[in-house]
Structure 1
Amino acid sequence: MPETVLVTGGSGYIAGWCITELLRNGYEVRTTVRSGGKEQAVLDAVSTQLDPAGRLSFAVADLTADDGWDDAVKGVDYVLHVASPLGGGATDDPDAMIAPARDGALRVLHAATAAGVKRVVLTSAANAASPSSYATQGVTDETLWTDPEDPTLSPYRRSKTLAERAAWDFMDSHQGSTELVTVLPGAVFGPILTTSNIGSVGIVGRLVSGRMRGVPRIGLEIVDVRDLADIHIRAMTSPDAAGQRFLATGEFTWMSQMARTLREGLGAEGRRVPTRQVPDFAVKLVARFRDPSLREITPALGRRNRHSTAKAHRILGWQPRPAHRTVLDCAHSLLSHDAL
């Protein structure tokens, strides 16, 4: 009998690709949605890659509530906890993002351990294994934990760090057989399955459409969403992965390099991609007086710190594809979906 994997947040960008690759590898998949009305959208998205008939089922469960999680994990062999409630929005309350992410992870772990699930793979973020100071240079690895008490941290960085730390603390006190692995991705790009939830891919869309008039001096460690799904499955099945953190970052790429890749690789469709780099002071001024949404990126201006994925290569045999391929595949996918 094929093993069954629960993927949380099936309507999400990363979750959709995890579901697709699990089905492609012969697993039965159950995925959570916050309401039954989202089931068809997930089926439609996955169906763009393969026929999920008879092998994809659904459970209604919300990370912000206890209801539904015991049923969601019943009979499941593994859990990929990919979803994280963003919450918060523009609120100044730091707990608006932190509490849902942390409590949601603990709800999944409580249910999974009670059900005797073999292993839970939790999606964290490279930002949970980064120096608190963006000025730090060099290469860091999974042994580093971001300091959640650093007052300069954005709510997102703090929420991912505290959620992962809470998960490990829970497992340290758990005496059962369930194992935990965490995967810490960088900036996730690549093809989309649907236009309903494109996540960080929107950055590429803004570049290709010309809505981004200039390029800030920001570097991203680009990982392809397909490679991210692959490392989740490897982390789920590798005997040596139990109890480990794995960074899943790709090539460090300045946004100006991304823009050049798009401009040169898309031909006529790349004619609107900006090439002018915006000075740091200009980005900070806009963030302060015109666009508060940019405030979270201003500390990253000029950041050169990178993460090592040597551990994932050594233990999991994971090898991500080059960043330029991911960026171009992402752009072609957005264009084909008319998602600009």
Structure 2
Amino acid sequence: MSTPLVFITGATGFIGAQVVATTLQAGYRVRLSIRKAEQEAIIRARYAGYNGHEGIEFAVIPDLSKQESFSSALVGVDYVFHLASPTPDSGDIQSDYIDPAVEGTLSILRAAQAFEQIKKIVVVSSLLSLGPVDTIFQHEVSLRDNTGETIPVDVSMALPEGFAGEILKYSASKIKAHEATRDFIKNNAISYKLITFHPTFVLGDSLLRKGPKDISGINALFWKGLFEEKPTIHHSWVHVRDVADAHVRVLETEIETGKEVILARPVDWEDVVSHINEKYPELGCKMKGPFEDNWKVDTTTAEEILGMKWRSGHSIIDDLIQQQLALQAKAGSS
């Protein structure tokens, strides 16, 4: 029997890069979608030290929103991890955010219907797709998966200028893309199992980083918050390696189509600040209480069905900070 083949979109991102590594380490072959052929050499070099790295294939797909782009990419594929998601810096909420997010997901789900050997597809959404569009700005939040609730999105809503407005557009796109995924399940007789992941703020060490200034995404927000009085993200995190582990676990677990899986663990900001000040006093962390957050996130599905055992908040902090300090030291000595 040949080694199962996993097709992965979004492999060049922070989360996707770790998913590729974990999937290879688990003994699977991978086929990665890339936008440009010249990306192949860079990615192959990234996994040169991983067991099974020779089992990497590539499919050049410039536009993931076109169903026909997958006509050859899905040949022989057993499983699909769809992590790619458009993240524009600005633009119209409908045409630049919602439409690409919806079509980018539906195109691969539709294309996969022609390949009966595909057993499971995991679509990576966001915790923000399971709550009101302004969830990220709330301090009192209670979120659960598999409620069946339809989240309303008013595309004509008044949007603030700058970063806050872009975050609302991003949240709206996640909500609508997930709604489209659920509708697809209802309206189509699909032969594969379709599961959605909903990670919260994903942090940890990165396989992509080369220097101290290339810290990005949620890692960058966390790092920035160390030098301000109040945190820049909420107190529900997940280690990037836990997100990657969940992908492999779902391949090896009986799970029904349509199941939503929140990936998160609670942390206590008082404990976070105490840990940082004790272990990394040289940072001069400026965060101090009281902290307003009261996010309640139910992770029962991940723990009971996938058997997830979350890495600790301290582990997340240490992996992120130690990588940043190491890169700073390397840059300072060069």
> TM-score under structure 1 normalisation?
0.81
- Whether the 8 Å contact between 1:217 and 1:302 is mirrored in structure 2 is no
Corresponding residue to 2:179 among 165, 173, 177 = 165
Rounded to whole Å, the distance in 2 between the matches of 1:253 and 1:163 is: 31
The alignment of Structure 1 onto Structure 2 pairs a total of residues equal to 310
Alignment of 1:195-206 (within 5 A): 195=209, 198-206=216-224
Aligned to 2:164: none
- Whether the 8 Å contact between 2:10 and 2:83 is mirrored in structure 1 is yes
Alpha-carbon distance change, 336 to 237 in structure 1, aligned in 2, over 3 angstroms: same
Corresponding residue to 2:277 among 241, 251, 263 = 263
Aligned to 2:74: 73
Rounded to whole Å, the distance in 2 between the matches of 1:234 and 1:12 is: 20
Q: Which amino acid aligns with 2:144?
A: D
Rounded to whole Å, the distance in 2 between the matches of 1:201 and 1:72 is: 32
- Whether the 8 Å contact between 2:120 and 2:193 is mirrored in structure 1 is yes
Rounded to whole Å, the distance in 2 between the matches of 1:162 and 1:54 is: 38
Alignment of 1:39-118 (within 5 A): 39-47=40-48, 50-61=50-61, 62-87=63-88, 89-116=89-116, 117-118=118-119
Alpha-carbon distance change, 190 to 163 in structure 1, aligned in 2, over 3 angstroms: same
Aligned to 1:275: 287
- Are 2:324 and 1:334 aligned? yes
Corresponding residue to 1:245 among 233, 253, 260 = 260
Rounded to whole Å, the distance in 2 between the matches of 1:308 and 1:200 is: 21
Rounded to whole Å, the distance in 2 between the matches of 1:241 and 1:16 is: 27
Q: Which segment drifts farther, 129-138 or 1-10? A: 129-138
Q: Which amino acid aligns with 1:177?
A: S
Alpha-carbon distance change, 163 to 236 in structure 1, aligned in 2, over 3 angstroms: farther
For the residue of structure 2 that corresponds to 1:219, the secondary structure is: coil
Q: Which amino acid aligns with 1:158?
A: A
Q: Which segment drifts farther, 123-132 or 1-10? A: 123-132
Alpha-carbon distance change, 4 to 65 in structure 1, aligned in 2, over 3 angstroms: same
Aligned to 1:147: 151
Corresponding residue to 1:322 among 297, 312, 323 = 312
Aligned to 1:294: none
Q: Which segment drifts farther, 2-11 or 194-203? A: 194-203
Rounded to whole Å, the distance in 2 between the matches of 1:217 and 1:34 is: 32
**Shift of the alpha carbon at 1:32?**
0.6
Q: Which segment drifts farther, 65-74 or 177-186? A: 65-74
- Are 2:137 and 1:119 aligned? no
**Shift of the alpha carbon at 1:267?**
4.1
Rounded to whole Å, the distance in 1 between the matches of 2:232 and 2:281 is: 24
Alpha-carbon distance change, 252 to 306 in structure 1, aligned in 2, over 3 angstroms: farther
Deviations 1:63-117 (A, max 9, x none): 2444531221111000000111112x22254431111111100111112222221
For the residue of structure 1 that corresponds to 2:185, the secondary structure is: helix
Alpha-carbon distance change, 258 to 155 in structure 1, aligned in 2, over 3 angstroms: farther
**Shift of the alpha carbon at 1:23?**
0.5
Aligned to 1:283: none
For the residue of structure 2 that corresponds to 1:235, the secondary structure is: helix
Rounded to whole Å, the distance in 1 between the matches of 2:176 and 2:153 is: 10
Structure 2 gaps, min length 5: 160-166
Alpha-carbon distance change, 203 to 264 in structure 1, aligned in 2, over 3 angstroms: farther
**Shift of the alpha carbon at 1:149?**
2.0
Alpha-carbon distance change, 216 to 103 in structure 1, aligned in 2, over 3 angstroms: same
**Shift of the alpha carbon at 1:216?**
4.1
- Whether the 8 Å contact between 1:187 and 1:200 is mirrored in structure 2 is yes
- Are 2:10 and 1:9 aligned? yes
**Shift of the alpha carbon at 1:276?**
5.0
For the residue of structure 2 that corresponds to 1:31, the secondary structure is: strand
For the residue of structure 2 that corresponds to 1:239, the secondary structure is: coil
**Shift of the alpha carbon at 1:318?**
0.9
- Whether the 8 Å contact between 1:204 and 1:327 is mirrored in structure 2 is no
Aligned to 1:289: none
Structure 1 gaps, min length 5: 280-300
Q: Which amino acid aligns with 2:230?
A: V
Rounded to whole Å, the distance in 2 between the matches of 1:9 and 1:133 is: 26
Alignment of 1:162-311 (within 5 A): 162-195=176-209, 198-207=216-225, 212-216=227-231, 218-254=233-269, 258-268=272-282, 270-271=283-284, 273-275=285-287, 302-311=292-301
Q: Which segment drifts farther, 99-108 or 218-227? A: 218-227
- Whether the 8 Å contact between 1:121 and 1:236 is mirrored in structure 2 is no
Aligned to 1:285: none
Rounded to whole Å, the distance in 1 between the matches of 2:224 and 2:134 is: 28
Aligned to 1:288: none
Aligned to 2:20: 19
Q: Which amino acid aligns with 1:113?
A: Q
Rounded to whole Å, the distance in 1 between the matches of 2:229 and 2:60 is: 42
Q: Which amino acid aligns with 2:24?
A: L
For the residue of structure 2 that corresponds to 1:182, the secondary structure is: strand
Rounded to whole Å, the distance in 2 between the matches of 1:315 and 1:93 is: 35
- Whether the 8 Å contact between 2:27 and 2:52 is mirrored in structure 1 is no
> TM-score under structure 2 normalisation?
0.83
